[in-house]
């Protein structure tokens, strides 16, 4: 595709997004994706052989296999946003098997979902596509609604259904974030002991991040700090929302 067409699709910000050159950090210092990404970036760490094998399974599955990039289908919205709101437009996805089948047929690197979804079809699919069990959720039924991530099961349960990795969310900046950091750090330690990789949804949640009608939850500086905290508790893969503040020209998304 011609560069002019790419700029046209990206709109008014296309020129900046494509031609921006960061002067703060040299690109030579970045660990870029590639076929050897797992060996290059994880082999020097404390990850054991089983963790390395499961990371390789994720990075080398599906259409993006061997590129150093991953495309993971995450479907835990039945808890986070209610099953009706999430699946009523597509009723076939009330059947958990169809979620996994979609990931398989779509050539995803892995499928991430709840204990219930993945356990219900583990014997049929755990060997066909890497499973990522989401171990905490916002339970959503409290009124008024609370926004807290609580544990829904154990890391051992994820291991028993053949998961390649566990995933969790931390709402950094929230009143409950201290508790979530401790719980997830302990869970990730146990997951690594059992040979599973770890994936963290590094989201921000604090009313103080909204000021003068502007939502800074996706500003580059504080989302980057959340990512830093995530890798500090040994998350192997970070999920972050695309930054959207217009004065930040350099934008990125993990995953």
**Predicted model pTM:** 0.88
CATH of 24-239, one of 3.90.550.10, 3.20.20.70, 3.30.565.10, 3.90.79.10: 3.20.20.70
What proportion of the chain, given as a percentage, has pLDDT over 70?
94
Q: Confidence band (pLDDT; 50, 70, 90) for 252? A: very low
Q: What is the pLDDT of residues 9-64, one digit of tens each?
A: 888 777 777 777 888 888 899 999 999 999 999 999 999 999 999 999 999 999 99
pLDDT at res. 245: 57
Residue 91 has pLDDT above 50, yes or no: yes
| Pairwise pLDDT comparison (1 vs 22), residue with the higher score | 22
Mean pLDDT over 182-194 rounds to 98
Residue with tokens 């150093």: 68
Q: What is the pLDDT of residues 107-154, one digit of tens each?
A: 999 999 999 999 999 999 999 999 999 999 998 888 888 889 999 999
Beta pairing partners, 238: 200
Of residues 48, 35, 29, 103, the one with CA closest to residue 73: 103
pLDDT at res. 220: 86
Residues annotated as catalytic are 239
pLDDT at res. 4: 62
CB 99 within 8 A of CB 111: yes
Q: How far apart are CA 60 and CA 67, in angstroms?
A: 8
Cα atoms found within 13 Å of the Cα of residue 45, Cβ hemisphere only? 19
CB 132 within 8 A of CB 170: no
Q: Confidence band (pLDDT; 50, 70, 90) for 3? A: low
| Pairwise pLDDT comparison (6 vs 107), residue with the higher score | 107
Residue with tokens 């330690």: 189
Q: What is the pLDDT of residues 195-229, one digit of tens each?
A: 999 999 999 999 998 888 888 898 888 999 999 99
List Cα–Cα distances, 126 to 11, 122, 158, 195, 247, in angstroms: 41, 5, 11, 15, 44
pLDDT at res. 248: 36
Sketch the domain layout of the chain as residue ranges.
24-239
Beta pairing partners, 113: 75, 133
pLDDT at res. 152: 95
Q: How far apart are CA 107 and CA 183, in angstroms?
A: 32
SS (H, E, C) the chain: CCHHHHHHHHHHHHHHHHHCCCCCCCHHHCCCCCCCHHHHHHCCCCCCHHHHHHHHHHHCCCCCCCCCCCCEEEECHHHHCCHHHHHCCCHHHHCHHHHHHHHHHCCCCEEEECHHHHHCCHHHHCCCCCEEEECEECCCCCCCCCCCCEECCCHHHHHHCCCCEEEEEEEECCCCHHHHHHHHHHHHHHHHHCCCEEEEEEEECCHHHEECCEECCCCHHHHHHHHHHHHHCCCCEEECCCCCCCCCCCCCCCC
Q: How far apart are CA 227 and CA 240, in angstroms?
A: 8
pLDDT at res. 98: 96
């Amino acid at each position: 595709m011609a560069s002019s067409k790419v700029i046209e699709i990206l709109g008014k910000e296309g020129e900046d997004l494509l031609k921006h050159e960061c002067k703060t950090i040299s690109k030579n210092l970045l660990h870029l994706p590639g076929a050897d990404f797992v060996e290059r970036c994880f082999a020097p760490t404390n990850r054991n052989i089983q963790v390395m094998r499961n990371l390789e399974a994720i990075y080398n599955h599906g259409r993006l296999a061997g590129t150093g990039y991953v495309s993971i289908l995450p479907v835990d919205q039945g808890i986070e946003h209610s099953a009706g709101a999430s699946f009523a437009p597509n009723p076939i996805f009330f059947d958990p098997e169809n979620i996994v089948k979609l990931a398989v047929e779509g050539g995803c690197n892995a499928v991430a979902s709840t204990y219930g979804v993945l356990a219900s079809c583990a014997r049929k699919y755990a060997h066909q596509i890497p499973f990522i069990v989401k171990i905490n959720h916002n339970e959503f039924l409290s009124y008024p609604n609370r926004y807290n991530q609580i544990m829904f099961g154990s890391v051992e349960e994820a291991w028993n259904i053949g998961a390649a990795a566990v995933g969790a969310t931390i709402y950094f900046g929230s009143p409950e974030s201290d508790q979530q950091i401790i719980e997830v750090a302990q869970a990730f330690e146990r997951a690594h002991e059992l040979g599973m990789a770890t994936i963290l949804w590094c989201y921000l949640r604090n009313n103080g991040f909204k000021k003068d009608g502007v939502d800074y939850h996706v500003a580059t500086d504080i989302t980057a700090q959340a990512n830093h905290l995530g890798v500090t508790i040994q998350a192997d893969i970070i999920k972050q929302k695309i930054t959207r503040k217009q004065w930040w020209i350099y934008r990125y998304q993990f995953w």
